[in-house]
């Protein structure tokens, strides 16, 4: 037994077929018998967050589902969790790599690829909280580390805490192509302004779209923003 409970969900995304997702049963799940998560600074409270289907993840998946597939575009999902957006991109034929710092994210992705009868999808260990990431060995206990640059970087609810040192923009800078885009879904966490200033300093322009989704089964209405950054000669999609 893995020490945690799971469930299977069918996730509906507009314009594409439902995605079958193996996820954690609830936010009470926790299993870190070898201390792998603790060694990465993941607390027991934060441990289950990777394994839940979140509203912002649904919004990001919906956004990429409407995006034209480009043969020359490499896509990177950061803080992917269950990698719903990556699964959508992969199924549509895009070149996508999923990344996260949770020690179980890669295994859950592998299982969800099997559930959806999809071929393997590259997964890399990506931790923007590691400031010396560029100087670390190319592999770690979680597998290959994230390397290279991508024309499109996507993420949902990655502005969840204050980032006075700008570690997330620095992480994006290390992996973004000179000409490209960044798509971030933010559920109005309140940390957009400092992130935007740093992105602007890196040469990005911003197109911001308000997001409003109907109430879910629990009666919660989703409100957030889709932050679409562009750098270089990128035509609007």
Q: Residue 132's pLDDT is what?
A: 63
**In sequence order, which residues have a C-beta less than 8 Å from that of residue 20 and are 6 or more positions away?**
8, 9, 10, 11, 112, 115, 116
Residues 6-231: name the CATH superfamily.
Answer: Vaccinia Virus protein VP39 (3.40.50.150)
- Are 13 and 62 contacting, i.e. CB atoms less than 8 angstroms apart? yes
Phi, then psi, of 109 in degrees rounded to 5: -65, -45
**Tens digits of residue pLDDT in 28-81:** 999 999 999 999 999 999 999 999 999 999 999 999 999 999 999 999 999 999
pLDDT over 70 at 230, yes or no: yes
Note whether 191 and 227 are within 8 A (CB): no
Kindly indicate the confidence band of residue 234, based on its pLDDT and cuts at 50, 70 and 90: low
Looking at residue 140, its pLDDT comes to 78
pTM: 0.94
- Percent of the chain residues past pLDDT 90, beyond the cut: 81
Rounded to an integer, the average pLDDT of 166-189 is: 96
DSSP one-letter string for 11-55 = E--TTS--EEEEEESSTT----TT-HHHHTT--TTTGGGGGS--H
151-164 pLDDT, tens per residue?
999 999 999 988 98
Q: Is the pLDDT of residue 233 over 80?
A: no
pLDDT single digits (tens) 116-138: 999 999 999 998 877 566 567 77
Percent of the chain with pLDDT over 70: 94
Average pLDDT, rounded, for the chain: 93
């Amino acid at each position: 037994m893995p020490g945690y409970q799971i469930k299977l969900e069918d996730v509906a995304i507009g314009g594409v077929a439902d995605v079958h997702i193996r996820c954690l049963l609830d936010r009470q799940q926790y299993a870190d018998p070898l201390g792998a998560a603790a060694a990465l600074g993941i607390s027991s409270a934060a441990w289950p967050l990777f394994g839940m289907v979140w509203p912002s993840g649904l919004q990001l998946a919906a956004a990429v589902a409407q995006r034209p597939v480009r043969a020359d575009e490499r896509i990177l999902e950061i803080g992917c969790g269950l990698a719903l957006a990556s699964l959508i991109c992969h199924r549509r034929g895009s070149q996508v790599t999923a990344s996260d710092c949770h020690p179980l994210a890669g295994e859950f992705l592998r299982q969800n690829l099997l559930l959806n009868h999809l071929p393997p999808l590259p997964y890399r260990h990506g931790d923007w909280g590691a400031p010396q990431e560029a100087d670390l060995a190319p592999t770690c206990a979680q597998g290959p580390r994230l390397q290279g640059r991508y024309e499109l970087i996507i993420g949902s609810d990655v502005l969840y805490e204050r980032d006075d040192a700008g570690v997330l923009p620095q992480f994006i800078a290390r992996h973004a192509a000179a000409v490209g885009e960044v798509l971030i879904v933010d559920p109005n966490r309140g940390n957009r302004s400092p992130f935007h200033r740093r992105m602007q300093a890196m040469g990005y322009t911003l197109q911001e779209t308000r997001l409003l989704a109907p109430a879910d089964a629990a009666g919660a209405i989703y409100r957030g923003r889709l932050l679409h950054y562009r750098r270089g000669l990128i035509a609007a999609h």
